[in-house]
Structure 1
């Protein structure tokens, strides 16, 4: 059911949404936010060098390793590092960063992470064209009718495979259950992805996908109730784009097939004005 009738001050509702969206946009414009990604490199057993990144990188059973040549330095955890540095095995969806400064690009952050069982390196350059030229993300005007009450159907947490925007990667995420809600008299149940004991993510597609909104998926944060309740609120006005809507350098998880809605969710963020490959 919609909660539109409970919104008594539409202007305040709109201002709250505008403040939320501007905060989101400010985060995107950060010097080392995801708009600064300038590459995506999957590590293998053979050491490889990547454009704009110091060292030769590899990975194996012992985890990622970087071999820095004479004259090359990375700052890791505030400490300058030269020669060989072993990271050890890193966990899934954990992130490690190293810093270096170049005359061409200024302060560059080298991000190391593990996604879908693969160790990857991505440089973040504040002067990257996508970040420097970012014009913002359009969105539908906030509308209380897209604030929908739903039922949280708890399940025993279980892992499910989730496809990624980069084909060679498949994510594994835990689901705490589903949300069930009604739109125009029809019932829908969508799978959630756990983000902690009291919050989940809803990845979904709908009839606007590829038309006015990003084709692959959008995402919505869903606060979960405690054990005394099964009620949740889905505010689709706060549906946002995934990083992969802006860059090919992000292996975002995509909506599972059961989360494809047959109607148009005309709320939340639209297709970004800018994108890089």
Structure 2
């Protein structure tokens, strides 16, 4: 016998609860409706909950990957021409974890070179690192990846404005091994909002500040306009890649129930008739909510909403 739609929905709710996905209360009430309730509506709700649960699971898996954002252990600015790198006290760039001596880092203008310490096993992009090598930065390309501690640790060089920094990760970082989990508002289909896209003239940029105080001109292809509670709201959209728009927003929950420095949400590119769907259930915290070693962009003034977005990811509560 085929299972009734409300029983399928109840099963989806149980799965969501088991994952700690915050969808339980709403789904439980829906799951207790009679067999005579409209099956199409229940099926739609069930699919929404399932899709949202899958997205949240992927979100958590990404954060907790061995090289995910929770593995960050350091951000070291390369300000001098020469720095020794390692966990020992005599190093100019002292790592929180790893070998006492990793090597010698040298800067020549915008170029960075690493000479490994004798007897220390390092890799460069997965292959053994034998001698002095130039490290590519993340400026429009994949940065060189230096591995240490048998692959548990890795270093890359990043560019922020006119500054260079050594970003360091380790799979045994306390922020990863002691991660306390994510908390969300209950999934709510009403926060999946149909919006209008208004394109800007080609080439327009918007100055975006990041959490370390650097301003960057960022491609700003258009603005997304939506209605909520009878009021019109606007969010400037940034280029999210070839298939998406990127929204950085703050709202009335920021600094209270949600992260004080704002949240992020992606949308698909607008349709041919300039329609966009914003799913605020998928608004999530930037990496800076979990580590002091990230360089997160912050919401521009234009994206500070006079609206409490009670959907998506809440403030991260660290384990004690």
1:171–1:253 Cα contact (<8 Å) kept: no
Once the two structures are TM-superposed, the CA of residue 93 in structure 1 deviates from its matched residue by: 7.0
Q: Which residue of 1 aligns with 2:71?
A: 36
Q: Which residue of 2 aligns with 1:67?
A: 115
Deviation per CA, 1:232-275: give whole Å up to 9, x if none.
00110000111011111000111101100011000000011228
Tell whether 2:311 aligns with 1:267: yes
Matches within 5 A, 1:71-220: 71-87=119-135, 91-92=139-140, 94-101=142-149, 107-155=152-200, 156-167=202-213, 169-220=214-265
2:294 to 231, 242, 250: 250
Distance 1:95 1:190 in 2: 31
Q: Which residue of 1 aligns with 2:37?
A: none
Q: TM-score, normalised by structure 1?
A: 0.88
Once the two structures are TM-superposed, the CA of residue 58 in structure 1 deviates from its matched residue by: 3.5
Q: State the number of aligned residues.
A: 266
Q: TM-score, normalised by structure 2?
A: 0.77
Aligned Cα RMSD in Å? 2.2
Which of the two has greater strand per residue?
A: 1
Which of the two has greater helix per residue?
A: 2
2:264–2:285 Cα contact (<8 Å) kept: yes
Distance 1:47 1:212, change over 3 A: same
Q: Which residue of 2 aligns with 1:3?
A: none
Distance 2:222 2:146 in 1: 37
Distance 1:131 1:72 in 2: 25
Unpaired runs of 5+ in structure 2? 1-39, 86-92
Distance 1:149 1:123 in 2: 40
Deviation per CA, 1:109-128: give whole Å up to 9, x if none.
11222233322212211111
1:94–1:113 Cα contact (<8 Å) kept: no
Q: Secondary structure at the match of 1:261?
A: coil
Q: Secondary structure at the match of 2:296?
A: coil
1:57–1:64 Cα contact (<8 Å) kept: yes
Distance 1:89 1:122, change over 3 A: closer
Post-superposition, which runs of at least 4 consecutive aligned residues in structure 1 deviate over 6 A? none
Distance 1:30 1:89 in 2: 22
Distance 1:93 1:34 in 2: 19
- Larger Rg computed on CA atoms: 2
Distance 1:63 1:154, change over 3 A: same
Deviation per CA, 1:52-111: give whole Å up to 9, x if none.
362232433351122333223421123222342123565257433111126xxx721112
Unpaired runs of 5+ in structure 1? 1-5
Q: Which has the higher mean CA deviation after the structures are superposed, 253-262 or 267-276?
A: 267-276
Distance 1:7 1:131, change over 3 A: farther
1:92–1:115 Cα contact (<8 Å) kept: no
Distance 1:7 1:98, change over 3 A: farther
2:94 to 33, 39, 51: 51
Distance 2:148 2:124 in 1: 9
Q: Which has the higher mean CA deviation after the structures are superposed, 182-191 or 209-218?
A: 182-191
Distance 1:82 1:65 in 2: 13
Distance 1:90 1:139, change over 3 A: closer
The one of the two structures with greater contact order (alpha-carbon pairs below 8 A, sep at least 6) is 1
